[in-house]
Each structure stands twice: as structure tokens, then as C-alpha cells.
Amino acid sequence: MGWLWAIIVGLVLGLLAKAIIPGKQHSPLWLTTIFGMLGAVVGNAVARGFGIAETPGIDWGRHIFQLVAAIVIVFFGDMAYMSVRGRKRKG
């Protein structure tokens, strides 16, 4: 069941990141979900580094770190996707 939650959280974080980033992102939904999953993992690691451990109830601090990481990863991941996609069309 852990993989299902990872996909759901990744999808939600990826879509939230896409909604927050200005402009149009061109990466497909499956790639956005992977970027969101990476954002969750990176955000958890950063939160642990700042001493935010898992707490009972909603852990807002950890979720903020996850969202910020997802925004950064979606932004740069979409730039890389468009760069690779543009090179494939030219050559």
C-alpha cells in the first residue's frame, strides 16, 4: 500500500507545484507525478535535517518542505524535459 500512497502524494504535489509555477509547463502527467514523488522524498529529508520529525496529526512543516521541493523539481525538470524535447525535434 506504500507505493500507492507515494503515487497519490506525488500526483497531488506535482499538480500543486504546476499550479503555483507561473506559465505553462509542458511535462506530461506521468512525469509530473514522478517529480512530485521526488519532491516528497527530498522534502522529507530536508525536514529531517531541520529537526522536524513525524508528529501525531497533520505535519504541516514537513508538507511545506515537500511542496517547496516539488516546486523546485517540477520547475527544473520541466526545463530539462523541454530541452530534450526541443533537441529531438531539431535533429
With respect to residue 40, please indicate whether it lies within any of the assigned structural domains: yes
pTM of the model: 0.86
pLDDT reported for residue 25 = 86
The number of distinct structural domains making up the chain is: 1
With respect to residue 2, please indicate whether it lies within any of the assigned structural domains: no
For 23-66, write each residue's pLDDT tens digit: 888 899 999 999 999 999 999 899 889 888 767 778 888 889 99
Which DSSP string do the residues of the chain spell out, in sequence order? -HHHHHHHHHHHHHHHHHHHSSS-----HHHHHHHHHHHHHHHHHHHHHTT----SS--HHHHHHHHHHHHHHHHHHHHHHHHHHHHHHH-
pLDDT reported for residue 86 = 76
With respect to residue 7, please indicate whether it lies within any of the assigned structural domains: no
With respect to residue 78, please indicate whether it lies within any of the assigned structural domains: yes
With respect to residue 80, please indicate whether it lies within any of the assigned structural domains: yes
Mean pLDDT calculated for residue range 69-89:
89
Range of the domain at 31: 26-90
pLDDT reported for residue 24 = 87
